[in-house]
Amino acid sequence: MAGFRTLPHSFMTQPSFGKPGSSTRTYLQCISTTCQATFEASEKIYRCPRCQDLLDVKYEWDTAAVSNWKGLFDQRRMSNRPIDVSGVWRFRELLPFYGSEDAIVTLPEGNTTIFSAPRSASYAGVTRLAVKHQGLNPTGSFKDNGMTTGATQANKLGARAVACASTGNTSASMAAYAARAGMRGIVFIPGGQIAFGKLSQSMDYGAVTLQIQGDFDDAMRIVQELAAETDIYLLNSINPFRLEGQKTIAFEMVQQLDWRVPDRVVLPGGNLGNSSAIGKGFRELFDLGLIDRMPKLTVIQAEGASPLAAYWQGDRTAGFRPVEKAFTLATAIKIGQPVSWKKAIRALEWTDGSCISVSEQEIADAKAIIGRDGVGCEPASATTVAGIKKMVATGDIHPDEDIVAILTGNGLKDPDYTINYHLGELYQHAERRMELMTGEGLLDSPFANRPIQVRAEKAAILDVLEQLLKD
Ligand code: F0G
């Protein structure tokens, strides 16, 4: 690794660690059970400098008032202060790293609805199903939950430029929070491989948008090298302060359920930051006595990008193997070398969880069904309902379980996918011209809802409606 280099117009100002909001000490700790080295929270590091493993943000909790916290968190839902309105910072006693309220960068995020999804439930074969829609966040994905804490730490460190590699949602979110905090945002995206809605966001929020000739895994490698060698602050989920925000998805979920813990929480897996974060969130609630049991965390991957599912379902003694040239039309999770795989395995172990993969067809159909619940989501999010259906069929989920699926992204992020499905034109490898010509790789669209061409005349329209409403 090259030595530390200061960028031309230094991107860092002096760190400012404000007055701490509580007496809780924050530190970083290596997750390796054989290393466990600890470091100051003010160090700009993303991996353990001793063994290169991932880092956790840890606290010496100030637990004197823990028994009052649920009441305090509930009370804050009546407040109009942005840091109380935020579904992340409302739980700030569980995020004490922030130190001073002045450092907080919030939009404010979270507060995403839990919908009942009866059509998805009956499609999947369960009695009832709840979906927590993280796509209702300010930039339309769960990344905002983590970006508010990542940007806050960047602010505390005096960062002037922040960067990430992304399949589109992280970049959209980071661009927005960088804009709010007055920092330069630099995003690295795989050229031609992210949904248009997401690309448009990072451009609109003013980020430097670098399209890499390569895939997400290439972009991730390059941005880590740059962050190690320059003053640019890395805001991918390898940064443990990002995961601190994402862990609050667990807090908000149980608060919305009147502090009841569901039997199972199902979510998509890509870079595996979210599974890691939500696992940590539930673990902290449990360790602090705020909940009395853990839900089973269930991660669903797309077949062509499923290294965790392969590990979990296979011979685990063979170790975790990345996937070369990952592929899925759910571009958000088109990732073969997930950075947080170790933390995700830990989360599955903590929660007696599991991981499986689903096919492109299963994802596409599940997405159409979620749409029929009047909810809608982006393709990656639909792995959840597809996965539940598959696990009910194999007997791994009992139909009466109390399940919350996390829909990670807004349906408007990737309208091309939705339109192609409903037109019956969703190709698995649309970039390959031969397949387009031969029709090979075309997915079925059993739940298609095609638009109808009709003359602008009342009689013609009534004819069409009569035909349709007859069925
Ligand atoms: N769902 C959506 C909509 C996503 O954008 C992502 C990840 C995931 C699920 C998977 O979450 O990576 O924490 O396992 N998107 C990242 C990005 C990689 O760059 O936007 P994960």
Of 193, 139, 201, 136, the C-alpha closest to 167 is 193
Dihedrals phi, psi of 358, to nearest 5 degrees: -130, 160
Residue with tokens 């740059």: 226
What is residue 428's predicted lDDT score, i.e. its pLDDT?
84
Q: How far is the CA of 64 from the centre of ligand 1 (A)?
A: 36
Please state, in angstroms and rounded to a whole number, the distance separating the CA atoms of residues 333 and 216.
Answer: 9
Q: What is the CA 206 to chain-centroid distance, rounded?
A: 22
CA geometry: angle 48, 51, 53, nearest 5 deg: 55
Q: Which pair of structure tokens corresponds to residue 173?
A: 């979110």
* DSSP assigned state of 305: G
- Sequence-distant (6+) residues with CB within 8 A of 306 are 323, 357
Same domain, 366 and 441: no
Q: Is residue 16 part of a domain?
A: no
Last residue of a domain, one of 207, 240, 273: 240
Q: Is residue 10 part of a domain?
A: no
Please state, in angstroms and rounded to a whole number, the distance separating the CA atoms of residues 167 and 190.
Answer: 7
- Sequence-distant (6+) residues with CB within 8 A of 312 are 345, 348, 354, 355, 356
CA distances from 440 to 138, 150, 325, 333, 446 (A): 39, 43, 20, 23, 17
Q: Is residue 15 part of a domain?
A: no
Q: Is residue 11 part of a domain?
A: no
Q: How far is the CA of 170 from the centre of ligand 1 (A)?
A: 7
What is residue 64's predicted lDDT score, i.e. its pLDDT?
86
Last residue of a domain, one of 175, 207, 240: 240
Same domain, 386 and 427: no
Q: Is residue 389 part of a domain?
A: yes
Q: Do the Cβ atoms of 229 and 2 come closer than 8 Å?
A: yes
Same domain, 229 and 255: no
Same domain, 263 and 387: yes
Report the relative pairing of strands 130-133 and 55-60 from DSSP bridges: unpaired
What is the residue with the minimal CA distance to atom 4 of ligand 1?
332
Please state, in angstroms and rounded to a whole number, the distance separating the CA atoms of residues 313 and 273.
Answer: 20
What is residue 470's predicted lDDT score, i.e. its pLDDT?
85
Which CATH number do you get for residue 252?
3.40.50.1100
Please state, in angstroms and rounded to a whole number, the distance separating the CA atoms of residues 193 and 196.
Answer: 9
Q: How far is the CA of 143 from the centre of ligand 1 (A)?
A: 8
Q: Is residue 207 part of a domain?
A: yes
Q: Do the Cβ atoms of 262 and 402 come closer than 8 Å?
A: yes
Of 124, 132, 87, the C-alpha closest to 407 is 132
Q: Specify the DSSP element, H or E, that contains 301.
A: strand 296-302
Is 126 exposed, middle or buried (CB count within 10 Å of its CB: 0-12, 13-18, 19+)? Answer: buried
Same domain, 68 and 40: yes
Q: How far is the CA of 325 from the centre of ligand 1 (A)?
A: 17
Q: Is residue 20 part of a domain?
A: no
What is residue 431's predicted lDDT score, i.e. its pLDDT?
56
What is the residue with the minimal CA distance to atom 5 of ligand 1?
332
What is residue 62's predicted lDDT score, i.e. its pLDDT?
82
Q: What is the CA 368 to chain-centroid distance, rounded?
A: 21
Please state, in angstroms and rounded to a whole number, the distance separating the CA atoms of residues 395 and 398.
Answer: 7
pTM of the model: 0.93
Of 386, 181, 149, 107, the C-alpha closest to 251 is 149
Same domain, 197 and 316: no
Of 146, 112, 361, the C-alpha closest to 253 is 112
Same domain, 160 and 128: no
Last residue of a domain, one of 193, 219, 240: 240
Same domain, 296 and 348: yes
Range of the domain at 398: 114-139+243-419
Q: 201, 271, 297, 345: which to mutate for ligand 1, most atoms within 8 A of CB? A: 271
What is residue 1's predicted lDDT score, i.e. its pLDDT?
35
Same domain, 294 and 376: yes
Extract the runs of DSSP E, i.e. beta strands, from 306-397: 354-358
| Number of domains present in the structure of the chain | 3
Dihedrals phi, psi of 450, to nearest 5 degrees: -75, 140
Q: Do the Cβ atoms of 251 and 280 come closer than 8 Å?
A: no
What is residue 15's predicted lDDT score, i.e. its pLDDT?
43
319-355: per-residue pLDDT in tens?
Answer: 999 999 999 999 999 999 999 999 999 999 999 999 9
Same domain, 70 and 219: yes
Rg (CA), the chain: 22
Q: Which pair of structure tokens corresponds to residue 426?
A: 């969703």
Residue ranges of the chain whose pLDDT lies below 50: 1-21
- Give the count of beta carbons closer than 10 Å to the beta carbon of residue 81: 12
Report the relative pairing of strands 161-165 and 233-234 from DSSP bridges: parallel
Same domain, 278 and 388: yes
Please state, in angstroms and rounded to a whole number, the distance separating the CA atoms of residues 225 and 47.
Answer: 12
Same domain, 153 and 68: yes
Give the position, in ligand 1's atom list, of the atom nearest the Cα of 378: 3
Q: Is residue 12 part of a domain?
A: no
Q: Do the Cβ atoms of 175 and 206 come closer than 8 Å?
A: yes
Report the relative pairing of strands 55-60 and 25-30 from DSSP bridges: antiparallel
* Residue ranges around ligand 1 (CB below 6 Å): 141, 143, 166-170, 237, 268-275, 332-333, 378, 380-381, 408-409
Q: Estimate the crossing angle of helix 273-287 against helix 341-351, to 10 degrees.
A: 40
Q: Do the Cβ atoms of 242 and 150 come closer than 8 Å?
A: yes
